[in-house]
Amino acid sequence: MENRRRVRADEIDIESQKRRARRRRELLRRKRRKAKILRAGIVVLLFLVLAGCIWGVVAGVRFGLARSAADRELKEQQIAQEEEAHARKEEMIIQAREMATVYDYEGAIDLLKGIEGYENDPELLKELADYESIKSTLVSVDVMKIPHLYIGGVIVDPEYTFSKSDQNWVSTANKTSITVYELNNMLEQLYSNGYVLVSIRDLIQERTDDEGNELYTRGKIMLPEGKKAFILSQDDVSYPFNTQNSGYASRIVLDAQGNPTCEYVQKDGTTVTGEYDLVPILDAFVEEHPDFVYKNARGILCLTGYNGILGYRTSPDLAETAEFGNIYADYGIFDYQAEIESVKPVLKALWEGGWEFAMNGYASVNYSGDYEKVYDDVQKWQSDVGSILESVTGEKTDILMFPFGSDIADWRGYDGNEKFSMLFGQGIRYFCNIEPSQYWVQLHENYVRQGRRPVNGLRMSQDLNEGSDWLTDLFDVSAVYDSRRPDTGLAKKGADQGNGAGDTGETSE
């Protein structure tokens, strides 16, 4: 019994040991599994951490690259903006210098002060200081003492012109015209003598009262001390038929660059273009001497209508035959509407270049004569010439150069004058006659009168041969005069011709 108990106890002990062994093995297995799981977790965690690091690095690199690209783009934009601002500033500096060259110092100063940040820009401040300094030395011009010079036709080839068989025509051409040689010399003399070309509009300052009326006061022209102002115009810029193929330019055209120039038919019949009349000659002179003009002023082209304008046969009358009253039919029948379209670009280029236009009467009507004739002439001009100009400039013509220089009243003014009322109603504000004085200007509250001085063969011959002084205050006539002129129609040395005051060289067409 006792042995069985021992055996039983031993069996129990052995079984207990086995259970403990199994438990240890299970615990060990669990530890190993936990260890595996832990190791796997650590591996996964390490992988995730590594992946996160890699992603972070990549994302950081990408962000850095993107940020660098954005920064680079922003910097490039800033550089481009700075370069653009610098280029714009340089352009405005050049523009201001050009304005200062033509005595527009106020405009130059205002332009530079419009540049943002000019107060902190040493270059701009120096430019401004220079302009302010020069501006302080300018002298006011007395607008009541500004001479107005006018010329007629310009002869290109005197030998060709003066060889014509019609001596009456030659005499008229010799008296009323100047040559290209004389025009170039005259401009050089005027420039050397300190003259500066101004606009007729510079004579006044315009304001509007409370009732909307335009009122004029004296203009303010500021020039360097020693400089003198003058106005320049040219009569009857129609290039009339009777000057064609006679040594005069035939019309104004545009060159390849769109600049006004002149067409000229040479003696052999070939056609050339170049500086053959006032417009291209003056433009070329100003290009070489920009300080010859005040604020880019140019001359006034005085337009008639009987033969069209600027050499283009724009009059409807020129489309008719002789039997319907066209007295110029022998020169050809013209498509006036096509001529109008052809002249418009030329007018536009002239207008944009600073040239101005004036009414010079339609045909051979003296405005000191019968009211009805004057009225009809004005209406015809407005219909056939003024309408074309307005379609190009957008403005009504307000300058009148009296045909033949004859005014509608004496020096006392236009109060109660019927013709004045009619002309004023047509928009005319500047009334210019021919006056032998050095200058003659009247400024009224809403209109201007000015006398014009002819520069032509007759006046120069009178100064040279009779001791007159029509032009001697302006230039040395002997240095201007073209010796190729004949004596026909001119003052001669030793001849008793009086003072010539009754003959200005202004003749009817």
- The CA R_g of the chain, rounded to the nearest whole Å, is 45
**What whole-number distance in Å separates Cα of residue 198 and Cα of residue 221?**
9
Report the DSSP beta bridge partners of residue 356: 300
Residue 106's pLDDT is 97
351-383 confidence digits (pLDDT tens): 999 999 999 999 989 999 999 999 999 999 999
What is the mean predicted confidence (pLDDT) over 103-109?
98
Residue 83's pLDDT is 83
Give the residue from 276, 256, 258 showing the smallest Cα distance to 266.
276
4-58 confidence digits (pLDDT tens): 555 455 555 566 666 665 666 665 566 666 656 556 555 555 556 555 656 555 5
Task: Please give the single-letter amino acid code of residue 20.
Answer: R
Q: Which residue has the higher pLDDT, 7 or 126?
A: 126
Task: Please give the single-letter amino acid code of residue 317.
Answer: D
DSSP string covering 12-23: HHHHHHHHHHHH
E-strand stretches of 96-138? none
Helix (H, G, I), strand (E, B) or coil at 379: helix
**What whole-number distance in Å separates Cα of residue 45 and Cα of residue 14?**
45
What is the mean predicted confidence (pLDDT) over 276-295?
99
Mean pLDDT of the chain: 90
Give the residue from 179, 157, 164 showing the smallest Cα distance to 455.
179
User: Residue 493's Cα: distance from chain center in Å?
Assistant: 46
Give backbone dihedrals phi and psi of 68, rounded to 5 degrees, phi first: -60, -40
Residue 76's pLDDT is 82
What is the mean predicted confidence (pLDDT) over 149-172?
97
**What whole-number distance in Å separates Cα of residue 306 and Cα of residue 316?**
10
- 332-362 core/surface letters (b: 16 or more CB in 10 A; e: else): eebebeebbebbbebbebbbeebbbbbbbbb
What is the mean predicted confidence (pLDDT) over 134-139?
98
Task: Please give the single-letter amino acid code of residue 104.
Answer: D
Residue 270's pLDDT is 97
pLDDT band at 502 (very low <50, low <70, confident <90, very high): very low
Residue 501's pLDDT is 43
Structural domains of the chain ordered from first start: 17-135 (no CATH), 139-480 (3.20.20.370)
- In the predicted model, is pLDDT for residue 149 greater than 60? yes
**What whole-number distance in Å separates Cα of residue 148 and Cα of residue 198?**
10
Residue 443's pLDDT is 97
Residue 86's pLDDT is 86
pTM for the whole thing?
Answer: 0.84
Helix (H, G, I), strand (E, B) or coil at 264: strand
- In the predicted model, is pLDDT for residue 470 greater than 60? yes
Q: DSSP state, 306?
A: B
323-349 confidence digits (pLDDT tens): 999 999 999 999 999 999 999 999 999
User: Residue 401's Cα: distance from chain center in Å?
Assistant: 24
201-233 confidence digits (pLDDT tens): 999 999 998 888 889 999 999 999 999 999 999
Terminal-to-terminal C-alpha distance of the chain = 173
- In the predicted model, is pLDDT for residue 63 greater than 70? no
User: Cβ distance 305 to 311 under 8 Å?
Assistant: no
Residue 306's pLDDT is 98
- In the predicted model, is pLDDT for residue 296 greater than 70? yes
pLDDT band at 421 (very low <50, low <70, confident <90, very high): very high
Residue 23's pLDDT is 65
- In the predicted model, is pLDDT for residue 505 greater than 50? yes
Residue 462's pLDDT is 97
